[in-house]
Amino acid sequence: MTFTGALFDFSGTLFRIEPVRSWLRTVLDECGLRVGPRVFERYVRELTSAGALPGGPAPECVPHHLAAAWADRDRSAELHREAYTGLARQVALPDPGLYDALYARHMSPAAWRPYPDAERVLRGLRRDGVAIGVVSNIGWDLRPVFHAHGLDSLVDAYVLSFEHGVQKPDARLFRTACALLDREPARVVMVGDDRRADGGAAALGCAVRFVEHLPVEERPDGLHALGLTRTA
């Protein structure tokens, strides 16, 4: 089938967040805090286990008092911050200001890297005349990330869960994206890394394709391998 529209997830699909180790190291350095190597590695392990880095490893266990915020974390900026700073606070870091600093760091464009083939595929779709949208479960505005990495000109529409109060797999997000692109869902493909969340597009009749949520170095051509473009 020839698609006239393509929707992409953000985290784990087009971009990947930095590892927990560099996330923590950058924030400690910016805050002028020094900890020994053993303590640092313990913090890395504990933050990883807690699932405190948005876009990073999932929590091994969500505390009861955060369960409601976690379930609806992508419906609003407030719930997203509450959920992730709450997870981070399970780890006894040396300064109480670090929790907000860590949360702020994950929203920085410098904390994100595009997958090696992301620009190639997006440009190929653009040359093919395909309209492009980004549909993301997220609690903050990711547009500056695309701008900083020079990919914003390749995206026609952004549909972000926190701006609509709706999370994938709710079909309303995908319907909104198709409407913004002025494309019929049956001629649109959704690309993501989460089979449940991104698979929700199938309810509208969209085709769905999946990539693996891997570190950037381990997935050099996962998007290109989907064969979405004629010219890339």
If you write DSSP's letter for every residue of the chain in order, what string do you get? ---SEEEE-SBTTTEEEPPHHHHHHHHHHHTT----HHHHHHHHHHHHHHT-STTSSPPS---GGGHHHHHTGGG-HHHHHHHHHHHHTTS--S-TTHHHHHHHHHTSGGGEEE-TTHHHHHHHHHHTT-EEEEEE--SS--HHHHHHTT-GGG-SEEEEHHHHT--TT-HHHHHHHHHHHT--GGGEEEEES-TTTGGGGGGGT-EEEE-----GGG-SSTTGGG---S--
Say yes or no: 9 and 22 in one domain. no
| Domain-terminating residue out of 110, 141, 167 | 110
Q: Residue 150: its pLDDT value, please?
A: 98
217 located within any domain: yes
31 located within any domain: yes
| Domain-terminating residue out of 110, 132, 167 | 110
Domain that holds residue 58: 17-110
Say yes or no: 12 and 65 in one domain. no
Q: Residue 175: its pLDDT value, please?
A: 98
| Domain-terminating residue out of 110, 125, 160 | 110
Q: Residue 2: its pLDDT value, please?
A: 85
Say yes or no: 98 and 177 in one domain. no
Say yes or no: 68 and 25 in one domain. yes
Say yes or no: 182 and 149 in one domain. yes
Q: Residue 1: its pLDDT value, please?
A: 64
Say yes or no: 143 and 207 in one domain. yes
Say yes or no: 210 and 125 in one domain. yes
Say yes or no: 97 and 136 in one domain. no
Dihedral (CA of 183, 184, 189, 191) sign: positive
Say yes or no: 133 and 204 in one domain. yes
Say yes or no: 33 and 69 in one domain. yes
Q: Residue 230: its pLDDT value, please?
A: 82
Cα separation, 143 vs 228, whole angstroms = 23
47 located within any domain: yes
231 located within any domain: no
- pTM summary value: 0.95
232 located within any domain: no
Say yes or no: 129 and 217 in one domain. yes
Provide the residue-wise pLDDT of the chain in tens; the chain has 232 residues.
689 999 999 999 999 999 999 999 999 999 999 999 999 999 999 999 999 999 999 999 999 999 999 999 999 999 999 999 999 999 999 999 999 999 999 999 999 999 999 999 999 999 999 999 999 999 999 999 999 999 999 999 999 999 999 999 999 999 999 999 999 999 999 999 999 999 999 999 999 999 999 999 999 999 999 999 986 5
In the numeric block, which tokens belong to residue 179? 């409407």
Identity of the residue numbered 140: W
Say yes or no: 9 and 52 in one domain. no
212 located within any domain: yes
Q: Residue 9: its pLDDT value, please?
A: 98
Q: Residue 45: its pLDDT value, please?
A: 98
CATH number at residue 151: 3.40.50.1000
**Domains identified in the chain, total number:** 2
